[in-house]
């Protein structure tokens, strides 16, 4: 049995895994779903100082405090940057990391650098305008491939603005993560912002799986996602 640590992306909280975590636990796995500083129920801690290192530290402290080992570390979207940083700092604790439609950053790269230029420009404009210079407002769920009204209604009241600094802070890596196996899962039924990241994963020799769903796979395809995560954990 595996120990999964599932890390949410921008605007979300640990609650976004509520449809996936029970499936993993029912199969006998241990599951942790932390909420990153400044998001969701921790939004009262949001400030312009919250950056990528803050979120890496959130997960590192979870691993250290609970003394977790042989962890399957899953990062969705923005959290690809987070789990890369965590694996670099605690490689001995991680059995495998899985990038779920997520950034695959190298040393010195910021999340903003890894977005397609048109998307990066839109995000920067949003942060500069309605985001008061330091926040990324919540994007339309339809853009992310969420089409069922019940899913929209479940997500909308829970989403909160995301600190832009986490997208402009570069990864600072030592190379310690290179020996830890990694995999990529691409969600292919939307605008495929992370297609380039999936290609980067293939060039790195990682296994790449595809899910026929939108970007919010943990909401729109929880059974399929749980299946592929367990398959990758076993691999």
Q: What are 56's two structure tokens?
A: 């890496």
Sheet holding 30-32, edge to edge: 30-32, 3-7, 71-76, 94-100, 182-187, 208-211
Q: Is 77 one of the catalytic residues?
A: yes
| DSSP H/E element including 183 | strand 182-187
| Cβ–Cβ under 8 Å, residues 174 and 88 | yes
Residues in the chain: 235
Look at the block and give the residue holding tokens 């940083």: 85
Which of these is catalytic: 2, 47, 77, 189? 77
Q: Which residues of 209-218 are buried (b: 16+ CB within 10 A; e: fewer)?
A: bebebbbbbb
> Of the candidates 21, 123, 164, 4, which has an alpha carbon nearest to the alpha carbon of residue 69?
4
Helix (H, G, I), strand (E, B) or coil at 161: coil
Helix axes 52-66, 79-89, angle to 10 degrees: 50
Question: How far is it, in rounded angstroms, from Cα 33 to Cα 35?
Answer: 7
Rounded to whole angstroms, the Cα distance separating 61 from 63 reads 5
Catalytic residues: 77
């Amino acid at each position: 049995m595996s120990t999964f640590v599932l890390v949410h992306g921008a605007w979300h909280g640990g609650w976004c895994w509520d449809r996936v975590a029970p499936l993993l636990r029912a199969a006998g796995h241990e599951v942790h779903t932390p909420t990153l500083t400044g998001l969701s129920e921790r939004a009262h801690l949001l400030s312009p100082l919250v950056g990528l290192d803050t979120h890496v530290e959130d997960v590192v402290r979870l691993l250290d405090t609970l003394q977790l080992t042989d962890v399957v570390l899953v990062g969705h979207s923005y959290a690809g940057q987070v789990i890369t940083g965590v694996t670099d700092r605690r490689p001995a604790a991680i059995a495998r990391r899985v990038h779920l439609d997520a950034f695959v950053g190298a040393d010195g790269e910021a999340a903003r650098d890894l977005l397609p230029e048109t998307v990066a420009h839109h995000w920067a404009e949003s942060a500069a305008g309605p985001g008061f210079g330091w926040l990324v407002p919540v994007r339309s769920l339809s853009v992310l491939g969420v089409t069922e009204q019940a899913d929209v209604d479940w997500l909308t009241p829970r989403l909160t603005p995301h600190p832009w600094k986490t997208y402009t802070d570069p990864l600072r890596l030592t190379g310690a993560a290179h020996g830890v196996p990694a995999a990529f899962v691409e969600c292919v039924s939307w605008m495929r912002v992370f297609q380039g990241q999936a290609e980067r994963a293939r060039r790195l020799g990682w296994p790449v799986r595809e899910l026929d769903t939108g970007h919010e796979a943990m909401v729109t395809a929880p059974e399929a996602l749980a299946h592929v995560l367990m398959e990758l954990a076993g691999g």
